[in-house]
Chains A and B, each alone.
Chain A
Amino acid sequence: MQIVVDLNRCQAYAQCVFLAPDVFELHGEESLMFTPAVPDGQQERVLRAAAACPVQAILVGEPAGPAAR
């Protein structure tokens, strides 16, 4: 599972940081940093974070490219 956050949309509501702190963190006051390759065991939390994002900036999906590795 991979994620990408549209940081043009992100307004640092930080719901994802509360729901999946191992994947999302605020760097400084409002710069979001995320781990693009979701670690094992975090999938459920990441899906909840994506659903909770008030501006729907988090895209979750299988890795792009030739047949998933």
Chain B
Amino acid sequence: MNGVERIVVVGASLAGLRAAETLRAQGYAGSLTVVGEEPHPPYDRPPLSKQVLLGRVHARDVGLPRRRAVEARWKLGVRADRVDPEERQVVLADGEHLPYDRLLIATGTRARPWPKPAQAALDGVLTLRTADDAARLTERLDAGPRRVLVIGAGFTGSEIASACRERGLEVTVAERGPVPLVGALGGALGAFAAAAQRAHGVDLRCGVTVTALRSENGRFTGADFSDGGRIDADVAVVALGAVRNTEWLEGSGLAAGPRGVACDAGCRAFTMYGIVTDDVFVAGDVARFPHPLFEYQMLSLEHWGNAVAQAEVAAHNMVSPAPRRRPHLTVPAFWSSQFGLNIKSVGVPTFSDQVVLAQGSLQEGRFVAVYGYRGRITAAVTVNRAKWLEHYQYLIETSAPFPPAPGAADRPAVPVTVPSDVPDPHLLSHGPTVALTGHLPDRHLTLVRHGRPGPPPPADEETPG
């Protein structure tokens, strides 16, 4: 098929799996190798901060179903060390060289660690990203800690806090921003989330940073805050967002850095000079791609649905001749479950200047918030009103005017439009699930690299050229 006989997929989670299946569904019959750093077969991450932490499902029982047999060679428990685009091969940590005609990069993200390594290594300081992380955290929660500290009130941190409260555990949440979820939903909805946390007994502290994790004999015992506050706790969960797994691509010449691997609408990777490749593709959390509904800004989406949709497009394009290639145009969508609330989103809430409560009410805890940017609808978020969301997806896809036209059920008497209060998009925030990564016009091209010593997040912003 087009001279494509060897395909290597690096990343064996949701995107890597669905890409491998799609390749076979497209009729690709050549060799297929799937490389995964974790020793486990592909598994589903969303349950880790929900069913698993609540003790309903064991962390080892979250495997994904397959759509079809893929007849792949699975190299699990092995890191990819580097890629040599000239020789067209991937070099693994165990020394094996995997030659490819097409390469898919689906290495995703990992939990951002606590910036002080000695404190991060304390007994009782954890992160939550992998099934092994979830198993460790669940074990700690089972032991009945007197208090849990959650650092960071993004979706993961908030879901962890929710699970703790449901288990009857005392929990303190420390958030640097003014309210929870501000990086994903903006300040207006963040205030609602803050009220929900407090109503469920969370000791929520916003506008503070954790200045030190205290310890005794190597065991975590409590934390100090920037406002002078102190707490004693037995467990600390660092939920400061994700780091994209791109270090292994340093030196590859690809446009890979802390914001992900840049690719075109067809999932083909760019080189660092902005030239598109024809044999290296990207999908899932590690990808950043231009989206026409959001002014072709480069988006990085840490979304389950995006991993699936982008993997399908990438795989199709990997084995299709140029005129048959498809663009990845799916409208971003995600969900979160916390404090009895089902939060669902379509579009990009952070791509907005205003938000209006279009249906329902905050008091009731059931509503639709619609986001607009310069007079058109760019996103909608429902809380316990999932059935209303699809309509707004259509409005987003058709660039309908903002605020939305009257006529919807359960509409407030006088809908009030307020600033959406989203963080400045050119700053990397610690906990967004969508990162708008468009360049500012007054900046020159700067090569940004991982792992250079520097201040803790979010200071890893591009250096002005």
**Chain A interface (Cβ within 8 Å of chain B)?**
1-4, 6-8, 10-12, 27-31, 33-37, 59-66
Contacts and interface: CB of A to CB of B under 8 A. Distances in A.
Contacts of B340: 27-29, 31
Interface string B315-347: 000000000000000000111010011101000
B386 interface: yes
A63 B341 contact: no
A66 B74 contact: yes
B50 interface: yes
A62 B344 CA distance: 29
Contacts of B64: 2, 4, 36, 63-64
Given A7-B335, A11-B387, A61 B66 contact: yes
Contacts of B57: 35-37
B46 interface: yes
A62 B21 CA distance: 13
A30 B338 CA distance: 11
B343 to A, nearest CB: 9
A3 B66 CA distance: 9
A60 to B, nearest CB: 6
B17 A12 contact: no
Contacts of A35: 51, 56-57, 61
Contact of B42 (A3, A7, A59, A64): A64
B384 interface: yes
B305 A8 contact: yes
B386 A60 contact: no
Interface of B: 12, 17, 40-44, 46-47, 50-51, 56-57, 61-67, 74, 76, 304-305, 308, 333-335, 337, 340-342, 344, 366, 384, 386-387, 389-390
A7 B56 CA distance: 18
Which 5 A-B residue pairs are closest in the complex by CB-CB distance? A65-B41, A61-B65, A31-B337, A28-B340, A64-B66
B56 A64 contact: no
A11 B386 contact: yes
B340 to A, nearest CB: 4
B67 A36 contact: no
Given A64-B17, A66-B74, A8 B63 contact: no
B453 to A, nearest CB: 38
Nearest to A28: B340
B76 A66 contact: yes
10 contacts: A8-B304, A8-B334, A11-B387, A12-B386, A29-B342, A35-B57, A37-B61, A59-B67, A64-B65, A65-B42
Contacts of B344: 8
B65 A3 contact: yes
Nearest to B16: A64
Contacts of B65: 1-4, 59-64
A51 B294 CA distance: 36
A44 to B, nearest CB: 16
B384 A28 contact: yes
Nearest to A30: B342
A37 B386 contact: no
Contacts of B386: 10-12, 30
A49 to B, nearest CB: 14
A6 B43 CA distance: 14
A33 B56 contact: yes
A30 B366 CA distance: 11
Contact of B62 (A27, A33, A36): A36
B108 to A, nearest CB: 16
Contacts of A12: 342, 386-387
Given A29-B342, A33-B51, A36-B47, A61 B67 contact: yes
A30 B57 CA distance: 19
Contacts of A62: 65-66
Nearest to A33: B51
Contacts of A2: 63-65
A8 B44 contact: no
A2 B42 CA distance: 12
B431 to A, nearest CB: 20
B63 A6 contact: no
Contacts of A1: 65
B74 A65 contact: yes
Contacts of A30: 342, 384, 386
Max count, chain B CB within 10 A of own CB: residue among A29, A34, A60, A65: A65
Contacts of B76: 65-66
A69 to B, nearest CB: 8
A61 B366 CA distance: 34
A31 B337 CA distance: 6
B335 A36 contact: no
Given A36-B44, A36-B64, 12 more contacts: A2-B63, A7-B304, A27-B340, A30-B342, A33-B47, A33-B56, A36-B43, A36-B62, A36-B63, A61-B65, A63-B65, A65-B66
